[in-house]
Homo-oligomer: A and B are copies of this chain.
Amino acid sequence: VSPRDKLIPVEELAIFCAKCFERLGLSPADAKLTGEALMAANLRGVDSHGIIRLKVYIDRIRAGGTKLDGVPTIVNDHDAFALLDGGANLGQVVSAKAMRLAIEKARTSTIAVVGVRNSSHFGAAAFYGLMAAEEGMIGFATTNSGPFMSPSGGSKRMLGNNPLCVAIPAGQYRPVVLDMTTGAVALGKILAAAMENKRIPTTWGVDDQGQPTDDPKAIVEGGSIQPMGGHKGYGLSMVIDVLTGVLTGGEFLTSVRGLYRSPEKSQGVAHLFAALRIESFMRLSEFKQRMDVMISALKQCPRAPGIERIYVPGEIEDETERQRFRDGISISPALAEELKTLAWELKVETPF
């Protein structure tokens, strides 16, 4: 947070986002949901997937690539699974519907999986995983995305920096939330280094010839993000593309459009959600107790030199959420200007 940034209460920003979407024709309920999904990312410290994306979402809506009148439709439906066509609507609207469906099905089937094709960028995966965790289930959320990673040994972007989220309820502790991408690093970090003319570790990405580089611009301009752990990240990213794009009959590999490409065309993003009902295995209270034992043991692990605390997945994000819920979300002068212009165009009041 720079001293020139403004701290805005999260409720006010959520309402602002919702009003922008409503003005473009989204239903009040779906507009509220999308605003909350963006704010959930900012609250958890994942600013790259928060309000900073509002403008590009709205650009795509105005250009016609994202269709607010596209109705997410159930193409195929059974006890433990469903297949949805997202109608090229906002990824948040489509995904929340899909995850709710998975949760409802899992109440009777224990495990349920819902695939989605023809959707858009869904923001941060943790939002959907946590929907299941709050219902006493283990939630899984994944998506493909515009190409930004080469297969190991390759020099062309073919796979997305695809994320995987697993959210697990606990008792005294907050839910464990693993929300990771399959690339060595988030694109945001590379973009930030490029803007600041900084060198980066050569393990982050390769140039357009497939050579490891310490120049972030070489990655942005035609290079690729390296997979996490070499062939492992490549394999995970490919498997996610299969479970989303290939399996749902949607787009995969380079047919998926990145958020910033051709705003007049739909992105063709595909997702997969699953919910696993814990009560089928044991009483939820017993499971939560077991999770508390596990979390407590990990946090009490003897520490390496210089380490002050051991964290479990999602713990840092959870602490950030509490702090930001109290203090507000930080908006930089540049972002405030961008949002003011947007507000003026859409005739919506800003909270700053």
Given known A-B contacts A235-B178, A281-B247, A111 and B274 have beta carbons under 8 A apart: yes
**Interface residues contributed by chain A, number (CB under 8 Å):** 74
Nearest-neighbor residue (CB-CB) of A111 within chain B? B113
| Smallest CB separation, A249 vs chain B (Å) | 6
Given known A-B contacts A80-B111, A110-B80, A310 and B152 have beta carbons under 8 A apart: yes
B-chain residues with CB within 8 Å of residue A115 when the two chains form the complex: 281
B-chain residues with CB within 8 Å of residue A303 when the two chains form the complex: 153-155, 210
CB within 8 A of A158: which of B78, B229, B297, B307? B297
Complex Cα–Cα for A281 and B81 (A): 9
Instruction: Determine, out of A85-93, A237-245, A261-269, A344-352, the stretch whose residues face the partner at the interface.
Output: A237-245
- Across the interface, do A291 and B242 meet the contact criterion of CB distance under 8 Å? yes
Nearest-neighbor residue (CB-CB) of A112 within chain B? B111
Interface residues of A in 206-238 (CB under 8 A from B): 206, 209-211, 228-229, 231-236, 238
Chain A interface SS verdict (over half): mixed
Let me know if A194 is at the binding interface, CB within 8 A. Answer: no
- Across the interface, do A239 and B184 meet the contact criterion of CB distance under 8 Å? no
Interface residues of A in 175-227 (CB under 8 A from B): 176, 178, 180, 184, 206, 209-211
Given known A-B contacts A153-B310, A228-B228, A210 and B249 have beta carbons under 8 A apart: no
Of listed A76, A154, A274, A312, residue having the most chain B CB within 10 A: A154
CB within 8 A of A79: which of B80, B150, B287? B80
